[in-house]
Amino acid sequence: MCCVFPTSLKGAALSWYTQLPPRLVDSFDTLVRLFSAQYATSRPHHITSAALSNLRQQDDESLRHFMERFANVSIKIRNLNPEVALHSMLIALKAKPFVDSLYQRQPANMDELRACATSYIQMEEHTKFRNHVRYSFTTRENQVEKRSQKHIFTKD
Q: What is the pTM of this model?
A: 0.57
Q: What is the pLDDT of residue 109?
A: 92
SS3 at position 92: helix
Residues of the chain with pLDDT under 50: none
Q: Report whether 25 contacts 17 (CB < 8 A).
A: no
The 8-class DSSP code of residue 20 comes to S
Q: What is the pLDDT of residue 103?
A: 86
pLDDT in tens, 107-145: 999 999 999 999 899 999 998 888 888 877 676 666 666
The β-bridge partners of 77 are 47
Could you tell me the fold of the domain covering 50-150? 1.10.1200
Q: What is the pLDDT of residue 152?
A: 59
- Domain boundary assignment for the chain: 5-42, 50-150
Question: Exposure string (b/e) for 65-101, b if CB count within 10 Å is 16 or more?
Answer: ebbeebeebbeebeebeeeebbebbeebbeeeebeee
Q: What is the pLDDT of residue 90?
A: 92
Q: What is the pLDDT of residue 14?
A: 87
Question: Could you give the CA distance from residue 76 to residue 85 in angstroms, rounded to a whole number?
Answer: 12
